[in-house]
Amino acid sequence: MKKASILLASLLSALMLAACGGDKKADTGKAGDAGDKAAKTAYATIGTGGITGVYYPTGGAIAKMVNNKRDQYNIRCTVEATGGSVFNVNAVMAGDLEFGVVQSDRQYQAINGMAEWKERGPQKDLRAVFSIHPESVTLAAAVDAGINDIRDLKGKRVNIGNPGSGQRQNSIDALQAVGLDYEKDLQAESVKAAEAPGLLQDGRIDAFFYTVGHPSGAFKEATAGVRKVRFVPITGIDELLAKYPYYAKSYVPVKEYPGAENEGDVETFGVKATLVTSAKVPDHVVYAVTKEVFENLEEFKGLHPAYSVLNKEEMLEGLSAEIHPGAMKYYKEAGLK
Ligand code: GLU
């Protein structure tokens, strides 16, 4: 099991290096640099998530599309592993990253000044580019912990997600929807999703939440160990789904995880992954990223099974921030807007 995850991690790193031309120095570059010839290259870094999630290969897939046309655009696109959606929004707003992969619910909250952005207010410069794969709020538990329903988490040790992640608020919302207070009713942990499968296998937690596309390395690892693990349904949450426009019913495709102790697909709810940027990022950079992903969508879809459901029209849905003018230029040209 350990070996499999190490292999997966090194495969992913190799993919990233290939996508980024192996030049980590480019991470420090800024988009839109001008000056002498060498400085005319625009550097665009995409913030993703942990390496056992789907954001990391997603960033790699986008970077690959753009870097394939380096001669044409003079853009070098690189990828960074991060703590997830909330971190990405804040880093894009701070100008530390040009792009971020962000859950659709987090995009909505950031632009409206809710949740983590309640005190700082609406993130006015946040701009949408497109939406990507669906993500399910996924709960996995050790079979020996006797957790068959989300309500059984009472009194258990549960990882709800690190503070920079998208999933943390989803876990809190799901727990609240079934009458559980994460601070009082369970022993909540706040570690990164990449660490949770190891903790579950080592018996240090009973369950963990992760909002992610499927299949993901994290759940492959969690379900491939000696300790038997099952996905747990999150149902009876109609009020929650009615309250927030960004939540919809979803499921965990169990066939992706042969080691899981489940018979059929597991019901839950979910969101969409989206790509965001800042109003300060130059139009030509956002245009290039948008155009290359849309014009090469079939190739893009082949890069991860989670993208199999993508189509151009739906990639313009689930966006709450204003669409960046660079992306809009392409959508108009392509007749999508
Ligand atoms: N949805 C998670 C987050 O926003 C990341 C999932 C992934 O990396 O695929 O933090």
Domain identity same for 148 and 195:
yes
Question: What pLDDT, on a 0 to 100 scale, did the predictor assign at position 40?
Answer: 84
The tally of domains found in the chain comes to: 2
The domain of 168 spans 135-271
Domain identity same for 201 and 281:
no
**Ligand 1 atom 6, closest CA:** 212
Domain identity same for 242 and 152:
yes
Residue to probe by mutation, ligand 1, list 16, 48, 51, 55, most atoms within 8 Å of CB: 55
In the block, residue with structure tokens 């491939």: 224
Residue 103 in contact with ligand 1 by CB distance below 6 A: yes
Question: What pLDDT, on a 0 to 100 scale, did the predictor assign at position 160?
Answer: 98
What spacing in Å lies between the alpha carbon of 76 and ligand 1's midpoint? 24
Contacts of 302 (CB under 8 A, 6+ apart): none
Residue to probe by mutation, ligand 1, list 62, 167, 173, 271, most atoms within 8 Å of CB: 167
CA distance 63 to 76: 8
Computed from CA positions of residues 147, 153, 158, 164, in that sequence, does the dihedral angle turn out positive or negative?
positive
Beta bridge partners of 312: none
Domain identity same for 129 and 188:
no
Question: What pLDDT, on a 0 to 100 scale, did the predictor assign at position 39?
Answer: 53
Express each pLDDT in 118-174 by its tens digit. 999 999 999 999 999 999 999 999 999 999 999 999 999 999 999 999 999 999 999
Domain identity same for 155 and 238:
yes
CA distance 243 to 176: 13
Question: What pLDDT, on a 0 to 100 scale, did the predictor assign at position 163?
Answer: 97
From the CA of 85, give the closest atom in ligand 1. 4
Domain identity same for 125 and 244:
no
Domain identity same for 167 and 261:
yes
Domain-embedded: residue 14: no
- How much is the pTM? 0.90
Residue 211 in contact with ligand 1 by CB distance below 6 A: yes
What spacing in Å lies between the alpha carbon of 83 and ligand 1's midpoint? 8
CA distance 163 to 154: 21
Domain identity same for 251 and 149:
yes
CA distance 64 to 46: 12
Low-confidence ranges of the chain (pLDDT < 70): 1-39
Domain identity same for 237 and 161:
yes
Question: What pLDDT, on a 0 to 100 scale, did the predictor assign at position 2?
Answer: 46
Residue finishing a domain among 222, 249, 271: 271
Domain-embedded: residue 24: no
Residue finishing a domain among 255, 271, 287: 271
CATH value at residue 286: 3.40.190.10
